[in-house]
């Protein structure tokens, strides 16, 4: 949608424009969404009954917000999504640094321009996407970055140091009439926290001896790790008190939500290989990926202080699809689905995203991940099957049958195996993989591995293949 055609302050007054604060704006747009039954933050999954109602309350109450949670809990995404609650277009004094409201300018430049030009003051229209600023708090952030500094170039141009126009404003003042997000708030140096508090609470900007009163209009949303936020000395108490609402985020509470997030966030490609090979993740393999993350979040061997991000699930989802595509291209197949024999590839996409509680030898991390993967497989298998219903299949193995599968075994060989062992076909029918050869191959390996992990079949690795037998 194009911006309004109004170009001067006089036209803006004639159109009946009324100033309102950014918090009033967000409140009004949220109430409209509630009336229409529209979601607060489209695309944010798993928080409908927990986090989102608290955020709604904070916005309706006009409170600045802090999101507490471990990494990978969509804190930054929530902050960015809040931009959708702003009006699409906002009028401002053209050329002003601080997005000045034409009816209530606050910067020296805008005040002087309105005083000089009156109703002929030029108006610019700012899209809501330009009204959001984000900064990662690090110990080296300075007051100049966040608040502002004297600009030596402006001094060199002939202005006096006593002139407010010599100031180059930082990110926070430049986000006036918008949303300012500060990630990892406790990492901000204490003296910078004091400067932030002055701006938020007193509207008092102090730069190199200047004391400037700026009636800034900013909705501040910050994020922090709970352990850092509650640690004494990491954040000054008055700044904590300034945030009206503290909302605790969390990881997905069930595998269904975890799967939905991975499906929504997984990277998609439109290259020739993707068009010539149909790659998909069977439902039970998606469950294994999600179950792996869920188990890691409960494991005593994995640091829960650091957390297990949803990015682990997304990365593992993408890795399995990549291994399936690679196999299909190598074997000349037109369909591809990940198999149990592909699961060792998850070590690479998991290891860098989890931290162990104790340090061990170099292979310890691999062993922990491998153990979690095996538990994930057996848990998902036991949700789909009871061992009693697979007795006929086990009896077939008692007669001397064996099954040979593996990462590079063609899907057609798995289909042949199903023909040789009809009891496999009945079990595969429970898994909703259709008639795709790749899906059948994936289901075969899942059933055989599940029986092995339940100690009903023996497993032997050979050169490039895996053999299951009694």
| Tens of pLDDT, residues 149-182 | 766 666 556 565 455 666 778 888 889 999 999 9
Ranges of the chain whose pLDDT falls below 70: 150-166, 202-213, 231-233, 270-275, 359-363
Structure tokens at 94: 């053209």
Find tokens 């209530």 and name the residue.
Answer: 104
Give pLDDT tens digits for 277-319. 889 899 999 999 999 999 999 998 888 888 889 999 999 999 9
What pLDDT score was predicted for residue 273?
57
d(CA 182, CA 218): 12
Could you give all domains of the chain from N- to C-terminal order, each with its CATH number? 9-248 (3.40.50.300), 255-469 (no CATH)
pLDDT for residue 269: 72
pTM for the whole structure: 0.85
Q: What is the pLDDT of residues 347-377, one digit of tens each?
A: 999 988 888 877 555 547 888 999 999 999 9
pLDDT at 355: 85
Distance CA 7, CA 425 (A): 71
Count of alpha carbons within 13 angstroms of residue 111, beta-carbon side: 7
Residue at token pair 């798993």: 46
pLDDT of res. 163: 59
How far, in Å, CA of 38 to CA of 21, rounded?
23
């Amino acid at each position: 949608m194009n911006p309004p055609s109004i170009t001067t302050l006089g036209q803006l007054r004639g159109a009946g424009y009324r100033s309102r604060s950014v918090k009033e704006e967000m409140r009004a747009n949220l109430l409209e969404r509630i009336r229409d039954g529209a979601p607060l933050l489209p695309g944010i999954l798993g928080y409908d009954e927990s986090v989102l109602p608290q955020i709604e309350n904070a916005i309706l109450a006009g409170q600045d917000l802090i999101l507490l949670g471990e990494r990978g809990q969509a804190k930054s995404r929530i902050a960015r999504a809040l931009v959708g609650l702003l009006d699409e277009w906002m009028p401002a004094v053209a050329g002003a640094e601080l997005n000045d409201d034409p009816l209530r300018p606050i910067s020296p430049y805008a005040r002087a321009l309105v005083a000089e030009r009156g109703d002929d003051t030029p108006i610019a229209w700012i899209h809501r996407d330009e009204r959001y600023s984000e900064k990662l708090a690090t110990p080296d952030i300075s007051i100049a970055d966040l608040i502002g500094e004297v600009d030596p170039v402006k001094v060199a141009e002939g202005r006096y140091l006593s002139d407010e126009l010599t100031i180059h404003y930082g990110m926070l003042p430049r986000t006036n009439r918008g949303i300012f997000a500060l990630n990892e708030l406790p990492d901000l140096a204490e003296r910078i926290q004091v400067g932030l508090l002055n701006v938020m609470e007193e509207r008092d900007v102090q730069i190199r001896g200047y004391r400037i009163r700026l009636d800034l209009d900013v909705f501040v949303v910050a994020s922090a790790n709970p352990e850092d936020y509650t640690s004494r000395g990491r954040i000054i108490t008055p700044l904590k008190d300034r945030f009206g609402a503290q909302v605790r985020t969390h990881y997905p509470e069930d595998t269904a939500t975890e799967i939905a997030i991975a499906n929504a966030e997984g990277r998609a490609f439109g290259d020739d290989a993707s068009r010539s090979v149909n790659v998909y993740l069977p439902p039970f393999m998606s469950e294994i990926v999600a179950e792996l993350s869920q188990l890691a979040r409960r494991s005593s061997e994995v640091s829960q202080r650091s957390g297990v991000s949803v990015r682990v699930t997304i990365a593992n989802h993408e890795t399995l699809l990549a291994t399936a595509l690679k196999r299909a291209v190598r074997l000349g197949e037109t369909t591809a689905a990940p198999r149990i024999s592909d699961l060792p590839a998850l070590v690479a996409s998991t290891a860098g995203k989890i931290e162990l509680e104790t340090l061990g030898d170099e292979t310890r991390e691999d062993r922990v991940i491998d153990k979690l993967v095996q538990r994930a497989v057996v848990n998902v298998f036991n949700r789909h099957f009871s061992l009693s219903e697979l007795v006929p299949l086990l009896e077939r193995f008692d007669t001397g049958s064996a099954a040979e599968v593996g990462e590079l075994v063609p899907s057609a060989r798995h289909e042949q195996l199903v023909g040789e062992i009809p009891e496999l076909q009945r079990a595969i029918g429970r898994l909703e993989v259709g008639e795709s050869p790749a899906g059948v191959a994936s289901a075969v390996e899942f059933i055989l591995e599940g029986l092995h992990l339940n100690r009903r079949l023996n497993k032997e690795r050979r050169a490039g293949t895996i053999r299951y037998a009694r």
